[in-house]
């Protein structure tokens, strides 16, 4: 048997309510694909990433023929479609290995395994374990030792003796464990069908602890990639645009969404705020052709130096989070903002 295996990574169609005004590729599958590309184990993995917003709805019967492993992730409002894809995949291809993850499935693995018929759910991030997990599922799928070997892989959930068990994970993955996202594995990515914009991840996690937010559960801590990796990722996006794989305007500019959930930390996070300021200054000379978009808290209005650095780096659109104008509501969800100050910041 060949040790080359085929993996399909799927991002279900947006269900509405996502904040992107255009269909941009999510980073999760790009990094998982990159992790499989650099994995050195008992199998090699040919990867294809199917973004339904780009490629249309996948047919779990026809389109998964010849696939060895299916990976599905989703935002919370996309979970019903994710469960539909995975359960139909199992119906049409009973021997297909199915792995799920993302902000709905990670904290609710029982639901995902029951409704989506998944074999495995990856809890939180998975780049550092995905190669080992795929090898284990392929090498021991028919062995009575499978559960034993799965139990040695940290940060996953699976069924054992009819019950869902979760393996413990300790420590945090380096945010640039995979240096460059694997754009080249996106299905049908050609100069005649380019992405409408690029995506840049520079941070995982958040300095805050708002109780309503899934980010602080999915991405623990606040972890910056290295300065060098930031520049490499900017250069990667520039090259993709030059190759016609990101839509470019007649002026030569293209859109880049910075996917961090808190790209510009509030001033009270002094160390991170100062580091981001210096990095933004270092971006000059690398982002001239980019119209960039990021998320921030309203407190950036109190920090004109950082705001100017954001503007000078060609960040031209900011999503600001303002959850409430009620002091008691803000306190209840641990949102460290003063209503009156928010008005001034805006």
Compute the radius of gyration of the chain from its Cα atoms.
Answer: 21
pLDDT score of 17: 56
pTM: 0.93
pLDDT score of 20: 55
Residues 6+ apart with CB under 8 A from 41: 131, 132, 134, 135
pLDDT score of 186: 97
**What is the spatial order of strands in the sheet that 69-73 belongs to?**
44-51, 4-11, 69-73, 97-101, 120-122, 156-160, 163-166
Q: CA 78 from chain center: how many Å? A: 14
Question: Of 136, 141, 90, which is closest to residue 113 (Cα–Cα)?
Answer: 90
Segments in the chain below pLDDT 70: 1-2, 16-22, 261-262
Alpha carbons 244 and 56: distance in angstroms, whole number: 21
Kind plus residue range of the DSSP H or E element containing 101: strand 97-101
DSSP state of 221: S
pLDDT score of 178: 97
pLDDT score of 172: 87
Q: DSSP 3-state assignment of 169? A: coil
96, 68 Cβ separation under 8 angstroms: yes
Alpha carbons 342 and 324: distance in angstroms, whole number: 10
Tens digit of each residue's pLDDT (9 = 90 or more) over 7-41? 999 999 987 655 555 677 889 999 999 999 999 99
pLDDT score of 280: 94
Residues 6+ apart with CB under 8 A from 136: 146, 149, 150, 153
122, 31 Cβ separation under 8 angstroms: no
Alpha carbons 330 and 340: distance in angstroms, whole number: 12
Query: 């999510």: which residue's tokens?
Result: 26
Residue 266: CB atoms within 10 A of its CB come to 21
């Amino acid at each position: 048997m060949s040790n080359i295996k085929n993996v399909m990574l799927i991002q279900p169609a947006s269900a509405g309510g996502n904040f992107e005004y255009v269909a941009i590729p999510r980073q999760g599958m790009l990094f998982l694909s990159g992790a499989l590309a650099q994995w050195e184990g008992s199998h090699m993995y040919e990867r294809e990433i199917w973004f339904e917003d780009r490629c249309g709805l996948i047919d779990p019967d026809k389109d998964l023929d010849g696939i060895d492993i299916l990976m599905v992730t989703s935002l919370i409002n996309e979970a019903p479609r994710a469960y539909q894809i995975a359960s139909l995949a199992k119906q049409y291809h009973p021997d297909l290995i199915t792995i799920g993850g993302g902000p709905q499935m990670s904290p609710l693995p029982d639901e995902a395994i029951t409704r989506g018929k998944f074999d495995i759910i990856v809890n939180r991030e998975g780049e550092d374990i995905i190669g080992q997990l795929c090898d284990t599922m392929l090498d021991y799928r028919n062995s009575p030792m499978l559960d034993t070997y799965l139990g040695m892989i940290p940060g996953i959930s699976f069924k054992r003796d009819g019950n869902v068990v979760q393996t413990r994970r300790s420590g945090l993955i380096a945010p640039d464990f995979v240096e460059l996202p694997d754009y080249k594995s996106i299905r049908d990515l050609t100069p005649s069908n380019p992405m409408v914009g690029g995506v840049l991840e520079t941070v995982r996690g958040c300095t805050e602890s708002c109780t309503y937010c899934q980010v602080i559960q999915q991405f623990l801590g606040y972890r910056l990639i290295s300065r060098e990796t930031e520049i490499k990722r900017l250069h990667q996006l520039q090259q993709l645009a030059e190759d016609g794989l990101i839509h470019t305007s007649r002026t030569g500019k293209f859109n880049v969404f910075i996917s961090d959930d808190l790209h510009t930390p509030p001033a009270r996070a002094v160390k991170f705020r100062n580091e981001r300021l210096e990095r933004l200054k270092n971006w000059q000379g690398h982002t001239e052709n980019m119209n960039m978009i990021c998320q921030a808290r309203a407190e950036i209005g109190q920090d004109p130096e950082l705001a100017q650095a954001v503007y000078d780096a060609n960040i031209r659109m900011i999503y600001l989070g303002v959850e409430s104008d009620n002091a008691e509501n803000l306190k209840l969800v641990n949102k460290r903002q003063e209503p009156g100050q928010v008005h001034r910041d805006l």
